[in-house]
Structures are given as structure tokens and as C-alpha cells.
Amino acid sequence: MRNSHSIRYTTSPLLASKTPAWRSKFIVALILLGFVLLVGRAFYVQVLGNNFFRHQGEIRFARTLELPASRGRILDRNGRILASSISAAGVWAIPEDVALDKPATREKLGQLAKLLGMPITELSAKVSVEDKNFVWIKHQLDWDIGKQVSALNIPGIYIKKEYKREYPEGDSAAHLVGFTNGDDLGQEGIELAFNKDLAGQPGSRRVIRDRLGNAVEDIGDEVPPVDGRDLTLSIDERVQAVAYQRLRDAVLTNKARAGSVVVVDAHTGELLAMANYPSFDPNNRHSLTGEQLRNRAMTDVFEPGSTMKPITVATALQLGRITPQTIIDTNPGRINVTGMTVHDDENFGVLTVEGVIQKSSNVGATKISQRMSAQEMWNSFTAVGFGQKPQTVFPGAVTGRLRPWKSWRPIEQATMSYGYGISASLFQIAHAYTSFAHNGEVIPITLLKTEEAPAGVQVFSPQVAAQVRHMMQLAASPGGTAPLAQTEGYSVGGKTGTAHKQVGKGYAADKYRAWYTGMSPINAPSIIVAVMVDEPSAGKYFGGLVAAPVFSQVVQQTLRILNVPPDLEVSPQIKTAASKG
């Protein structure tokens, strides 16, 4: 073998050959071109495409954090809380940061699903969405649960401070107060009607987040939130609770489908209570039905029946067509009107106008209506609010039905005099009765606390209003249709109503609505109470037997709550030992 040290590299022909000059120039040109491209790219990124790349960076790392405003409280007239906001937690995620492929993460997600009360499949679907930057998992969790979520320390899962509504009165005031949704926006009741005032204005904070979701730098100025304002209602929480409890008992006792109560301050038109049954708990709305959600006092319309008779009589009194002692012959207990028969439950014979109200005679109401024109009756019905949109901000308040007088046939004028062929809500009936309680003046019903009565419309004279109140007192006395409306210590007056329910184009033979509307004390009314019980099925269905007892209980407890002095002598309730036996 030849010795490697004998090789002479300097004499190698490869090394001795000359490199072409263009090759070195080409390499230098490539290097220069690379620098030019780098400079061009830098210019594009920093100048021409700056907005694009800045936007992409913001998408990945910049976040606008909403600073929630605390929703205003809803208070009753005495400052008791009907709705308030408490601290809560919202859970959100950056899906691209949630490592679903890691067993440890999947295990923690299972724990998270249990804390949130949702199936693991639903949670997994939320953190697997196409939008990799942000997704809400769940709103308005208890703050303690939020802290447990944070303690799991799952990459990509975060909590945010929110506010959650709490309703101390539960189901008794649910239809009145309403509730909010997951975004803390009003959905029903007062929460919806006054959402703009209650909600306030959320603030904002722009920050840069790191990969762990921590805010590392503020961008721009922080906009502080403006909390919503508190709202003081006309409602008295004590009266509301009484009205709801007595209504609930009546519905259950009479095996009824539903019921409503409205209580109004006769001096100011303030709504003191509005209750419905069945109801719901606004703090727990997982299994709500339409039956539970309906605010029947505002949204359900029905033929008011005999509660219209005082208005018919008041109209005729105001026009001078009758006096309280005018004789009305109801023999033989029925009357034919253009081929159709109007009848009473029995033959009441010869009655005065007072007797027509006391006995609730349909024949008597018909004969009184025949002394007036259709237009005169329509004007009066309209003036007390029938067929008119209620002047209230409450959502869902219905107009009811009152056809134009020009289309009335004689039989329709007759039936409207005792409450058939016209429809109204319980709220509208209570409103109409302010004309009797407020010396002939119809005043609007307000949901907000007020110090003085709003301006109303004088429909009847004070004398006519007093005369009709006396007639309604007779109707609530022995010999009238509703002696069960009597209340210990307070004089009362009102009118019953019992009507077959409309089914399709006719009336159901075995389905009724029973109601009672009245006021107390009768000579200087402090409150108006309207009660409706829908489809009682325990054997009794007349308003005087089903609704009047609820009226009596609500009136007695409400007047005592309001410290209204009794106007009747109160009989002793406690017997001494010597008097027994």
C-alpha cells in the first residue's frame, strides 16, 4: 500500500483549477436578495400589513373584559326587598387551550361537569367548538361553586364575576316581580317592564392575556360600570303574601283550575297586591309550564257577568232614567228580547233598583238597560276602561273586548247590561270599580309608590257613586248574593259574578268562572279587592260561595295591616269561663 504522506494536495488538478467569477457573484447576489426579502417582509409586517397582524394578535391575546353593573333592587312600598342581585360566577373557556387529548384534563372535565350539573357530553361539545378563542360554559353559578371551578385549575377554563337575581318572596310575588335570564336581562313582570332602569350600564376593561389566561397588561382606559337604580313599587309585601295564601287555599279547596286576586288602594290607585295561582318559584325555574307563567289577572279575559250590573245601574242613575227606589217588575222571572229569553235563577217579582243589585236580577238589569240607548251604555262602559288598553307599563296587559255600539242588537244590549257579550281582565274590573270607591272618578292604577292620587276622569257624580256603594252593601248582606263577603269589624260592599266559560262558539255546561269585586269600608273605601276563581269543581261554583270568602279574608287582614280603624262594632271573640255552658 502506498503511504498517504506521499500524496501532494497542492499538485491536485481540482484545486489547481480556477473558479468562474460568475459563481461567486451569484452567491453574493443570493445573499443580497435574501436581505432585500427580509427587509421587504419587515416593511410589510410593520407598515403595510400592520393592522392585519395587530388584529390577529388581539384575537389571540387581547380581551375586552365586561365589568358587570349590579342590577337595581326591587322594593315594596315599605322598603322590603322583592328582588336583589348577589355575587355569582360565570364559567367560560378558550377551547384551543383545553387539552382534551390528555387523560388528566378529561378527568378534571368530568369533575367540572358534576359541579356545573351538566352532562360531560354537553361540556365536551362546548369546549370543542370551531371558535377556538372564546365560549361561554354556564352563567350565574353560586359564587362558592365558581371558586371550586377555579380550584380545579383546568387550562383554558376560567371564571368571571357576575350577578345573580334572588327573589325572597318566591312564588307569592312571582308573576308581579317576574325574573331575568342568564344575561341578567328582564324577561317577565316588573323585571321586564323596568329593565332599562334596573339594568344600569356595564363597564369594560381592555387587557392583554398570556397563554394561561392571566391579564398582564391594560390597553386604554377602563370604563367603570354604572349600577342600576332601585325601584320602589306600590306593592305591600304583607298584603301580597296574604292575597296569595288565601287565593291558593281557595283554589285547592274548591279543586279549581286557577285563580287571581287584585288589591288596589282606593285613595291613590296604587296596586297593593296582585297574585295568581298556580305560580312558580323564580329562584328555581327548571321545569316551568305556560300555566304557571301566565299572569292571569292581567292576561286572561272573560265575560264579567253580574259585576257589570252596578255599572249599568250607575249609568242609568247618572242619566236620570231611574232612582234607587224606582220599581222594576221582574215577573215572571224572564223576559223576551227580540225572540230570545233572558231569565233569572228564580222569580224575584217586583223589585226596586236597589233590589235588582241585591238579588242580582238579569231581568231587572235588562229592563234598566232598555231605558238607555246603546251609545249611552257604550260611552259609560268605555269611560270606566272596558275595551281600552290599560294605562300601565306592565307587560301583557290585555285590552278586552267591547264592540262598537252601532253594531249592538237589542239582545246584545240586554246581555251586556249583566256582563255577557263583553270581555275584560280582572285588573280592568278592579280599575272600573275605582269609579265607585273614588266618588265617581275613575283613577289609573299605578305599580309605583306614589304620595297622592293621580288625576282621574269623573264618570259618575259622588251621589251616584254613594248610592251604588249602598246597593253593593245590600248585595253583601243577608238576603243578598254574597253574605259570605262580610268581614269582622268592617263594612263591605261588592258584586258577585258567575258565568259559564266560553268553549269555542258556545258555553260549557259544567265549567264556570266565579268572582267577586268589592270595597271596604263601604262609606269611605280604603281598598278595592277583586277575586276570580277559574273552574271550581268541588261542588260549589257561585261567586258568592267560592270567591266572596276569599274577598272577606283578604279585606280583613289587609285593612288591619294598613291600620284602618274598624267602622263596625267588633263582637267579642273570647268567652270567659263563667259564660260557658
Residues tagged active-site: 306
> Which residue is listed with cell 277583586?
530
- Spatial distance between the Cα atoms of 237 and 76, rounded to a whole number of angstroms: 6
DSSP label of 548: H
Nearest Cα to 552, choosing from 246, 262, 269, 307?
246
Collect all residues with Cβ–Cβ distance below 8 Å to 109 and sequence separation of at least 6: 98, 100, 120, 123, 124, 127, 154
Cell, residue 347:
222569580
Cell, residue 208:
392583554
- Spatial distance between the Cα atoms of 241 and 507, rounded to a whole number of angstroms: 34
The HSE-up count of residue 253 (CA atoms within 13 Å, CB side) is: 14
| CB count in 10 Å sphere of residue 456 | 16
DSSP label of 18: P
- Spatial distance between the Cα atoms of 561 and 552, rounded to a whole number of angstroms: 14
* Residue 76 vs residues 2, 166, 242, 263: alpha-carbon distances, Å: 114, 15, 15, 14
Nearest Cα to 490, choosing from 534, 449, 521?
521
The rounded radius of gyration (Å) of the Cα atoms in the chain is 38
- 3-state SS, 218-233, equals EEEEEECCECCCCEEE
- 3-state SS, 459-494, equals CCCHHHHHHHHHHHHHHCCCCCCCHHHCECCECCEE
User: Contact, 557 vs 242, CB < 8 A?
Assistant: yes
Q: 334: which strand partners? A: 343
Residue 148 class from Cβ within 10 Å (0-12 exposed, 13-18 middle, 19+ buried)?
middle
| b/e 413-435 (16+ beta carbons within 10 angstroms → b) | bbbbbbbbbbbbbbbbbbbbbbb
User: Contact, 298 vs 398, CB < 8 A?
Assistant: yes
User: Contact, 284 vs 394, CB < 8 A?
Assistant: no
Distance spanning both ends of the chain, measured CA to CA: 148
Nearest Cα to 190, choosing from 202, 200, 180, 201?
180
Cell, residue 165:
337575581
Q: Give the total residue count for the chain.
A: 581
| b/e 362-371 (16+ beta carbons within 10 angstroms → b) | bbbbbbbbbe
Do the bridges between strand 74-75 and strand 231-232 make them parallel or antiparallel, or are there none, so unpaired?
A: parallel
Do the bridges between strand 62-67 and strand 215-223 make them parallel or antiparallel, or are there none, so unpaired?
A: unpaired
- Spatial distance between the Cα atoms of 335 and 291, rounded to a whole number of angstroms: 40
Cell, residue 164:
345573580
